[in-house]
Amino acid sequence: MRKVVHLIGPGTPLDLLGQLRLLALPGEVVVSIGPPPAGAPRGDLKIVHCPLGCPGLAAMHLPASVRQADLLHAWGRSDSADLCGCRGRRLLLSLPSAPPRPAMNALIVRMRAGELVVTVPTSGAQKAFADAGAPSTCLHVLPPAAPAIERGGEARSRVRYELGVEDGQALLVAPGEMTRDAGHKYAPWVHAILRQIRPDLRLLIPGRGPVEDRVRFYVGTTGLGREVFLTEGRYTSEEALAAADLAVFFHERDCDVAAVARAMAAGLPIVASRTPDLAEVLGAGHAAAIEHVEAAVLVAPREPREQSAGVLRILDDPELAGRISAAARRRAAECFSPASSRSRLEEVYALAASQSREVARQ
C-alpha cells in the first residue's frame, strides 16, 4: 500500500485544509511544518519545529514517517519542496488556483527539473500553467470535493436563532477564507445597497482570514453592522450554508473555489463573479466570453452595482432561485463528490509515483 504523507503549515489556505480532511484516507499522516493552522485535521497530526519560519531548516526535525513515505503531498505550500530531501521522489503540490506569473514561473522551473508535480482545481488554471510553459506530465486537475449538505433542519433553526434572524428575513452568506482576492469587502456594500430596497435582508460572513480586519472596517462604514454577522469561525461551513438563503462570491481575481463547490452541494442559489475559475466550476467552461450558467447568476468583479442587481434578481424571483438551486446541487453531485475527487487523486498519485521511479533511475 502506498505511504502518503500530507504537508501543511501556518500558511495553508483554509479551504485546502477542508479538502485534505475530505480526501485523506485513514492512517495517512499529516505533518505541519511549524504551528498547525486553525482547521488542521485532528487525526494523526505531527508538528515539526520550523526554526525562523524557514522550511529548509525544518528538514533536520522531520519525523521518520516523512523519510519513509512513498509520496509527499503538500497542500498550498510551495516552499515545502525544500523539505523533500529524498532523491528519487517528487513532491506533489496542490494549489487553490493558478498563482501570479512570477510564482508560477518559479514552480515551473521545479516542474521542469523533475522535482514537482502540481494539481489545480480547474482546466482554466491548468491552461494558465501550460501557456506559461509547464510540462503537461507534471500538471493535473484535481476538482474540489464537496459532500451533499442538507439545508434546513436543526442546524438552520439553531444558527438563525442565535444570530437573531427571523423566519421571514433573507440571509446572505459570503463563505470562504477572507483573502485579498476573495472580495469579501463587497458583500457589506451590496447588503447596504439592497437594504434600502429589502429591509428584511441580513448578511453572514462566517470565516476568518488575513484581511479580516479590513472586512470588518468595511462593515463599519455601512452603518448596518448590527445586521452583518462576522462569526469568526464559530459556525462550520455546513452550518453557515444550512442557515443561509443565498450565497455570494465576489472574487476580484481567481482564488480558491472549494467554498463555491460546497455552496453548490448545499443547493444554495449563487451570485458569483465572472472569473474563469468560478465560471468553470459553475458550469461555463473556461471560455473568454461568459454570459450565462444554470447554476448561478454571474456578475462583473469589483462592480457593486452589478453585484447588487444580481442578488436582487434572485431575491425577487423565487422560481429563478429554485432553478439555480436545483442546477447547482445537480452539478455538485455530478462533478464534485468526494468519491470522484478521491478517485482522481489516486490517479494523480499513481502518475506521480511512476514518474518518481523514472527520476530515481536517472
Beta-bridge mates of residue 205:
230
* Model confidence band, residue 85 (pLDDT cutoffs 50, 70, 90): very low
Round to whole Å and give the CA distance between 133 and 161: 53
Q: What is the pLDDT of residue 352?
A: 86
Q: Which CATH number fits domain 4-143+338-361: 1.10.3470, 1.20.120, 3.40.50, 2.40.160?
A: 3.40.50
pLDDT single digits (tens) 241-273: 999 999 999 999 999 999 999 999 999 999 999
Cell of 290: 461568459
Average pLDDT, the chain: 90
pLDDT single digits (tens) 92-103: 999 999 999 999
Show Cβ contacts of residue 155 under 8 Å, excluding neighbours closer than 6 positions: 238, 239, 242, 243
Show Cβ contacts of residue 316 under 8 Å, excluding neighbours closer than 6 positions: none
Q: What is the pLDDT of residue 84?
A: 47
- Per DSSP, the three-state class of 307 is helix
* DSSP secondary structure string for all residues of 19-59: HHHHHPPTT-EEEEESSPPTT--SSSEEEE--GGG-HHHHG
Q: How many beta carbons lie within 10 A of that of residue 125, not counting itself?
A: 26
Q: Which CATH number fits domain 153-335: 3.40.1390.10, 3.40.50.720, 3.40.50.300, 3.40.50.2000?
A: 3.40.50.2000
Q: What is the pLDDT of residue 293?
A: 83
pLDDT single digits (tens) 237-247: 999 999 999 99
Structural domain boundaries in the chain: 4-143+338-361, 153-335
Round to whole Å and give the CA distance between 57 and 51: 6
Radius of gyration of the chain (CA): 21
Q: What is the pLDDT of residue 16?
A: 94
Nearest to 72 by CA among 52, 87, 56: 87
Strands 91-94 and 71-75 turn out to be parallel
Q: Cell match 523533500: residue?
A: 84
Round to whole Å and give the CA distance between 78 and 115: 11
Burial classification of residue 70, based on how many CB atoms lie within 10 Å of its CB (0-12 exposed, 13-18 middle, 19 or more buried): middle
Q: What is the pLDDT of residue 288?
A: 43
Question: What's the CA angle centered on 344, arms 339 and 348, to 5 degrees?
Answer: 145
Beta-bridge mates of residue 44:
none
Q: Are 103 and 82 in contact (CB under 8 A)?
A: no
Q: How many beta carbons lie within 10 A of that of residue 3, not counting itself?
A: 13
pLDDT single digits (tens) 133-185: 999 999 999 999 999 998 888 999 999 999 999 999 999 999 999 999 999 99
Q: What is the pLDDT of residue 359?
A: 46
